[in-house]
Amino acid sequence: MKLKLNKKQKSLLELSLLIVIPILTFLLWENPVLYPIKIFSVLMHEISHGLTAIFTGGYVLELNLSEYLGGSLISSGGNQFVIASSGYLGSLLFGSILYISSFHTNFFRWLSVFIGTILLLFTANFIKGTFGAVFGIIYSFIFLALPFIKNEYFVKITTRILAMVSIIYVFTDIKEDLLTLTYRETDAQLLFELTGIKAWIWGLSWFLLTAAAIYFLVRYSIKNK
């Protein structure tokens, strides 16, 4: 027996997911069920660093992805301030644009193919190690395949979940950076070394910006129902 939802019920379900997913993701971040999506979030974080390195005149040497949810990108040249800033901001911007694209079919199709292509190029050229390469290929083909799936409702829900978890990743990682008492070579720490502005100020700024982005997306969802 198939469960059929009318337009209003689907809208309520989508809005509920938007509200519930960030809360559950934040509270259950250590749950193994979220592991594959967390790997995706780390991957996009590092690719954001890589893209800004290239766009500011530098080049990428290698990208490493760890099964322990660690990631690092080694680059040469480029604008170090922009590169260091782009990890969290890239995850936030990527997640927000991906989420908004789910309301616009044609835009989503182009964006999904673009993301899949970027993932594939970075996997082929920069990712070191079998673990990172496997997940890079998996997510490359997911995004390349999504525009061709006929069930648009399934595609929308999948896209919004990936987008929101990418945004929540910023929350969770900054929370660890702000609360830890031990030195960690984080993006905020690198920015402190470059600018002299305390790492916790950078972290708090990104934290507040992420909260504002989630608020905007909730408003956007309600407006476009």
The contacts of residue 14 (CB under 8 Å, 6+ apart) are 156, 157, 160, 221, 225
Amino acid at 126: F
- Alpha-carbon dihedral angle through residues 41, 43, 49, 54, given to the nearest 10 degrees: -140
The contacts of residue 72 (CB under 8 Å, 6+ apart) are 46, 63, 64
- Give the span between the Cα atoms of 203 and 209, in whole angstroms: 10
pLDDT of residue 200: 82
Map residue 179 onto helix, strand or coil.
helix
The contacts of residue 48 (CB under 8 Å, 6+ apart) are 86, 87, 89, 90, 91, 93, 94
- Give the span between the Cα atoms of 166 and 163, in whole angstroms: 5
- Give the span between the Cα atoms of 160 and 158, in whole angstroms: 6
96-122 per-position pLDDT tens digit? 999 999 888 899 999 999 999 999 999
pLDDT of residue 1: 42
- Give the span between the Cα atoms of 87 and 1, in whole angstroms: 45
Sort residue 166 into left (φ over 0), alpha (ψ -120 to 50) or beta: alpha
Map residue 133 onto helix, strand or coil.
helix
pLDDT of residue 167: 84
Question: How big is the chain by its Cα radius of gyration, in Å?
Answer: 18
Domain ranges of the chain: 35-223
- Give the span between the Cα atoms of 176 and 181, in whole angstroms: 10
- Give the span between the Cα atoms of 191 and 208, in whole angstroms: 17
* Positions in the chain short of pLDDT 50: 1-2, 181
Tokens 């978890």 correspond to what residue?
A: 165
- Is the Cβ–Cβ distance between 105 and 111 less than 8 Å? no
